[in-house]
Amino acid sequence: MRELTVGLGQRSYPIHIEDGCLQYIGQDLAERKIANRYCIIADDRVASLYGRTVLQSLQQSHIGGELITFPEGEASKSLSTFGALCRELARKRYDRRDGIIALGGGVSGDLAGFVASCYMRGIPFVQIPTSLLAQVDSSVGGKTGVDIEEGKNLVGTFYQPKAVYIDPGVLETLPAEQFIGGMAEVIKYGVIRDAEFFEYLRREREGVLALDREIITKIVLTSCTIKADVVAEDEKESNIRRILNYGHTIGHAVEAASNFSIIHGKAVAIGMVAAVRIAVAKGICSETVQQQIVSLLEEYNLPTAIPEHLSREQIKNYILRDKKVVSGKVAYVLPLALGEVIITDEVEPLIIEAVLA
């Protein structure tokens, strides 16, 4: 069992990473005495794959639990599903001594976490992330929320879980496309904080793609360690946490301009390349680094260029509409070298034009 801590004073919490840990969750929760009983919230696909395992684990430790499901997909990350889940908890008479388990990908985590933060003004919750993206990114750091028609993630809270349990074994059933998307975020950590990890991902590519448990455990652990360190330093994203947005400013715009037909991870890969090209054009990063980033993304079958059919005009508009734009200034996270980035809003419009062209 590997365990690390997200250090946030009294709200610190452990991240357990262990192959097969889904079966032992009840035991650990019983020892931690986080809540009397748990409502497991999962999408229907993940519920049918892993709901029983988690329920049985709770039962074996004599903890009450039940499963509530919602339809798979981003469309469920909505105010209406949020409302339905809150009402279901109320009907089942959940109170402040009870808790929520978010089981699934980032959609379950964000949605169930948001419910936990609002229901009765906040009840404890635990994350069991099952997609690679959720295991290395969304389950750690406490951002919760839902989408509204006016924009993604526009309604939400910062609300930290009490514990995160990661079982790399569940990735066996994750669709390959989703796995590859998650790898974009993994590569991101190498670029922003850890050149050695970047090299590891290059060297162990075959093992990663074959889901070698040892190697997957290592990449999840390293990714979570980096995210946990950054979050512990700047929980509410007033400063350093923004480096996690590397590749996301242009990535989000590409995702939106494609009408979400390009999945998040692939859009982030495109955004990471665009950002390093900006850095090269500004003269703060070498072309060698740009080439290294492009090559690694390609080795993981991730796209590195904006598809020709997407409107550049539209992408530019989406960049300016990003919710992180402050008084018209777009902040870019730009690599200086592998493992080192800066945040700057000083990028000539001409450079953006050239990179998007």
Catalytic residues: 121, 143, 185, 227, 237, 241, 245, 248, 252, 264
Q: CA–CA separation, 109 vs 140, rounded Å? A: 10
The pair of structure tokens assigned to 311 is 């409107």
CB of 49 to ligand NAD, least distance (A): 6
Q: Does 110 bind ligand NAD (CB under 6 A)?
A: yes
The label of the residue with tokens 């919710």 reads 323
Q: CA–CA separation, 38 vs 91, rounded Å? A: 14
Q: Does 232 bind ligand NAD (CB under 6 A)?
A: no
Phi and psi at residue 347, to the nearest 5°: -130, 120
Q: CA–CA separation, 126 vs 144, rounded Å? A: 13
CB of 216 to ligand NAD, least distance (A): 12
For residues 174-193, which are near ligand NAD according to CB under 6 A? 174, 178
Biggest CA–CA distance in the chain, Å, is: 63
Q: Does 19 bind ligand NAD (CB under 6 A)?
A: no
Residues in contact with ligand NAD, counted by CB under 6 A, come to a total of 27
Q: Which CB atom, from 41 or from 293, has the smaller least distance to ligand NAD?
A: 41
Phi and psi at residue 251, to the nearest 5°: -55, -50
Burial of 110 (0-12, 13-18, 19+ CB in 10 A): buried
Part of the chain binding ligand NAD (CB under 6 A), chosen from 28-36, 115-123, 135-143, 231-239: 135-143
Tell me the per-residue interface mask from 306 to 325 with ligand NAD, x by CB under 6 A, - otherwise: --------------------
Q: Does 249 bind ligand NAD (CB under 6 A)?
A: no
In one-letter notation, the amino acid at residue 214 is E
CB of 84 to ligand NAD, least distance (A): 17
Q: Which residues of 128-148 are buried (b: 16+ CB within 10 A; e: fewer)?
A: bbbbbbbbbbbbbbbbbbbbe
Q: Does 106 bind ligand NAD (CB under 6 A)?
A: yes
> Binding residue for ligand NAD (CB under 6 A) from 34, 35, 126, 133?
133
Q: CA–CA separation, 96 vs 306, rounded Å? A: 48
Tell me the per-residue interface mask from 139 to 168 with ligand NAD, x by CB under 6 A, - otherwise: --x-x---------x---------------
Q: CA–CA separation, 134 vs 178, rounded Å? A: 11
Q: Does 39 bind ligand NAD (CB under 6 A)?
A: no
> Binding residue for ligand NAD (CB under 6 A) from 51, 105, 247, 251?
105
What number of other Cβ atoms are within 10 A of residue 191's Cβ?
Answer: 28
Q: Does 227 bind ligand NAD (CB under 6 A)?
A: no
**Is residue 335 helix, strand or coil?**
strand
Compute CA 272 distance to the chain's CA centroid, rounded to the nearest angstrom: 16
CB of 177 to ligand NAD, least distance (A): 9
Q: Which residues contact 75 (CB under 8 A, 6 or more apart)?
A: none
Q: Does 138 bind ligand NAD (CB under 6 A)?
A: yes
Q: Which CB atom, from 39 or from 170, has the smaller least distance to ligand NAD?
A: 170
The radius of gyration of the chain's CA atoms, rounded to the nearest angstrom, is 20
Beta bridge mates, 3: 16
Q: Does 107 bind ligand NAD (CB under 6 A)?
A: yes
For residues 43-82, which are near ligand NAD according to CB under 6 A? 43, 45-46, 49, 72-74, 77
> Binding residue for ligand NAD (CB under 6 A) from 137, 194, 235, 255?
137
Binding residues (CB under 6 A) for ligand NAD: these are 43, 45-46, 49, 72-74, 77, 104-108, 110, 130-131, 133-134, 137-138, 141, 143, 153, 170, 173-174, 178
